[in-house]
């Protein structure tokens, strides 16, 4: 199936911020996803950091109109396959292994592979990837790092994730090699626990309004 760059970009370019979610229950996954979609955030990453994650992905894929749900924190081929079977439209990894690259090539869904160093980016470029997750962004040099590699690694685009906030998101989004950013601030745990979906929709709308200007 190849690298599927166009399919990945069609998802990542839907909005400036991809919500990165750790979902504790299926019961909250559906109204949470609906609140995010209502605010304009259609592409949603649910991380495999909770026991409910796969069921939550399946529920959102089946029941939330307009959502493009993906799976994050995928660490091996087995998780990749399970996430895909649950209905994931895209797969996100914190780093990259040959096992993940191999399973991705045969899969119909695109992979957003993680990289944090110039050498990792170069290795992924050799595998045909031009769009990558930069993680953990703030801890790995932040926007200054991405700006410094934009010329030597021309033609490579990134979705920085890790430590991104409304305060620093614009510094990333202003860079020509940044497609979007990943962030968890659009779904704070206290709002999810309280079931304050209107407040989450407002945060989603504010995230959609984030631009380089």
Active site residues: 45, 133
**Cβ-defined contacts of 190-194 (< 8 Å, 24+):** 192/28, 192/32
d(Cα 138, Cα 144) in Å, to the nearest integer? 9
d(Cα 71, Cα 38) in Å, to the nearest integer? 20
What does the block give as tokens for 39? 């605010």
**H-helix or E-strand containing 46?**
strand 43-47
d(Cα 181, Cα 137) in Å, to the nearest integer? 10
What does the block give as tokens for 182? 């990943």
d(Cα 101, Cα 161) in Å, to the nearest integer? 20
Q: Which of 139, 142, 120 is nearest to 129 (CA)?
A: 120
Backbone φ and ψ of 112, nearest 5°: -105, 95
Angle CA 73–33–115, to nearest 5: 25
What does the block give as tokens for 25? 């229950």
């Amino acid at each position: 199936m190849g690298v599927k760059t166009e399919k990945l970009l069609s998802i990542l370019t839907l909005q400036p911020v991809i919500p990165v979610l750790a979902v504790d229950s299926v019961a909250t996954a559906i109204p949470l996803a609906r609140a995010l979609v209502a605010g304009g955030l259609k592409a949603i990453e649910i991380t495999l950091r909770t026991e409910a994650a796969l069921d939550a992905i399946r529920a959102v894929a089946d029941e939330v109109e307009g959502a493009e749900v993906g799976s994050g924190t995928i660490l091996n081929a087995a998780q990749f396959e399970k996430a895909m079977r649950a209905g994931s439209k895209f797969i996100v990894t914190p780093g990259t292994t040959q096992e993940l690259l191999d399973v991705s090539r045969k899969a119909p869904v695109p992979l957003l592979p993680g990289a944090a160093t110039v050498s990792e980016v170069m290795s992924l470029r050799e595998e045909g990837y031009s769009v990558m997750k930069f993680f953990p962004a703030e801890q790995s040099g932040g926007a200054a790092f991405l700006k410094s590699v934009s010329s030597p690694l021309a033609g490579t685009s990134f979705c920085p994730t890790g430590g991104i906030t409304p305060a620093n998101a614009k510094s990333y989004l202003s860079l020509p090699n940044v497609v979007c950013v990943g962030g968890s601030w659009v779904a704070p745990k206290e709002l999810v626990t309280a079931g304050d979906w209107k407040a989450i929709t407002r945060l989603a709308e504010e995230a959609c309004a984030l631009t380089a200007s």
